[in-house]
Amino acid sequence: MEQSSNVHLLDLPNEILFIILKQLGNIDVLYSLFGIKNEQIGALIEDDVFTSILNFVRTPITDDKLNRFCTSILLQKHNYIRKLILDTTYMERILLAGDYPNLTYLELFNFEQQIVFRIFTDNLAFRPIFQSQIRDLILRNNDGYRFGTSFEIYNRNIYAPIMDLFQNLKNLAIVASSVNEYSSLFLYYVPSATYFASTFTVLMCFALQIVSLYWMVVSNN
């Protein structure tokens, strides 16, 4: 008579467990396993693979999941995070949950002009990170066209303050999700007094659904 055997997940070697967990998003791995009182699991999620890059857009973010990250997980893991991919609807809560001393990459989905006024301009709590640490900034612009707001006004009021704030920026990419949005940064419309970081080397502006690509290399040399 053939006997069946049940293999528990924790009976697997660490190498196999590691491969399995890598197939999941880091957000799901940390949300599911963080805080479990098990030495093997604890050692696995301490790996840089699961803590250096957190993509909150890849997986659905429920209120419970967001609350747990903001009140528990990020409080202990913020020192390890180098790259954050966020939706602007909960960006403030995530950034306020830790100090992020090693954060250098920030990608924002559903970027709109009120984000500049509410977070980039008015909220001084984030200024040290934005001003000194961020070297790669990707803005996925979701601003619909507003009557009376020309591309010149938009560049002056939205993109110019960003250039002034992110003083250690190396790469900036602006991506639009439709033909009606303010996708491109036109340097012609940026005030001459606008600060350009000495580290700034690449500007990319993409307009999706349009057969065009603006690629500019900006060098202070």
Alpha-carbon dihedral angle through residues 6, 8, 14, 20, given to the nearest 10 degrees: 90
Q: Report how far apart, in Å, the C-alpha atoms of 127 and of each of 119, 130, 166 are.
A: 9, 5, 9
* pLDDT tens column, 36-63: 877 777 777 887 888 999 999 998 999 9
Q: State the amino acid at position 151 in one-letter form.
A: F
Q: State the amino acid at position 53 in one-letter form.
A: I
Neighbours of 30 (CB within 10 A): 23
Task: Provide the token pair at 10.
Answer: 């924790």
Alpha-carbon dihedral angle through residues 14, 17, 22, 25, given to the nearest 10 degrees: -120
Does the domain formed by 52-217 have CATH 3.80.10?
A: yes
Backbone Cα Rg of the chain = 21
pLDDT at 187: 53
Gap between the Cα atoms of 170 and 172, Å rounded? 7
Per-residue pLDDT at 35 exceeds 90: no
Q: What is the domain partition of the chain in residue ranges? A: 52-217
* pLDDT tens column, 79-106: 999 999 999 999 999 999 999 999 999 9
What's the pTM? 0.78
Contact in structure between 167 and 196 (CB atoms under 8 Å):
no
Q: Which residues pair with 139 in a beta bridge?
A: 108, 174
Gap between the Cα atoms of 125 and 45, Å rounded? 29
**What φ, ψ does residue 45 adopt, rounded to 5°?**
-80, -5
Give percent above pLDDT 90 in the chain. Answer: 32
